[in-house]
Amino acid sequence: MQRVIEEARHAAESPEPALILGESGVGKSFLARSMHADGVRALSSLVEVICASTSSDLLANELFGHAGSAYTGAGKAEEGLFAQANDGTVFLDEIGVLPPEAQTLLLGVLDTGRYRPMGGRRDFAVDCKVLAATNIDMDKAITEESFRRDLFERLAGDTICIPPLRERPGDIVPLARRLLTQECSHEPLALSSDACEGLLTYRWPGNVRELAKIICKAARRANQGVIERKHVTESFRAGSFDRPVAYTDAKLEFERQYVIERLAEAKGCVSDAARRAGQPLSTFKAIMSRSKVDARQFRQSS
């Protein structure tokens, strides 16, 4: 995540568009807001658009506005979100499902820095930073021709990939503690060591968003200001421990999960974790290397 944050800082300073990729719940919207706040346009507006929430025609109207005579019942002319974001930032969430017509219009804005309201007769200049995010496989969308390659290339001037929470276990406990402070500030709460181990053994299909929900639920169940393992595990999804179907994938996933559990128990001490696993230290280190697990991540939860 330090790499992701550094990439985001560089992208925030650039006038070029940036594309944020990652599974649902990893924090793409949070990162986009942080990029706006860290960028040169921080004092101007941040306008957020969820591309999947409206139809193609309504989305174009929302983005670019319309002239007074654009369509029956249009009423007076109204400016769109791009006009409202002039000198600021437009964040296009769920860009992967942007309708084809809106894709064409957006590409025109990115190429020329100008847009035309629906039903209008003249173009308007706009100067804004464009951030976009999606959780879909963009290579597949381009291959299936549901998303324009040229638009993707314009949006991906800077591409930032946020890894899923299960691939960065060292972030789980610090995030949980921060969420406790942010979401449950009405009373001091602490995570027990067993609760931390429970959090580390879960696969987190819902990523950070799911972690926030589980921490809030656990906080309501906690007694005497301490969150125990049972308070967090009661909210885990039943299917979250399913293994991949392919044998090689299943073996790798088992090894990764196994070393995570042993390192969590040993508070990041590799020799102790190897002893708990009943494996020679060299063998355990080889599994850690193959699974791309860093013992230092688990020392944060001690």
Q: Which CATH architecture has domain 2-163?
A: 3-Layer(aba) Sandwich (3.40)
Listed in sequence order, the residues at least 6 apart from 191 whose beta carbon sits closer than 8 Å to its beta carbon are 173, 176, 177, 180, 199, 226, 227
So what's the pLDDT on residue 161? 96
The alpha helices in the chain, defined as continuous H runs, are: 2-13, 28-38, 56-64, 81-84, 100-112, 138-143, 149-155, 172-183, 193-200, 207-221, 229-233, 247-265, 270-277, 281-291
The owner of tokens 């942007």 is: 98
Neighbours of 140 (CB within 10 A): 11
**166-301 CATH pick, 3.30.365.10, 1.10.3720.10, 1.10.8.60, 1.10.10.410:** 1.10.8.60
Cα 54 from Cα 75, distance rounded (Å):
20
Residues of the chain with CATH 3.40.50.300: 2-163
So what's the pLDDT on residue 243? 47
Q: What is the mean pLDDT of each run of 10 residues along the chain (302 residues)?
A: 92 95 94 94 93 75 78 68 94 92 91 88 92 94 94 94 90 91 73 90 90 90 86 78 57 81 87 90 88 78 42
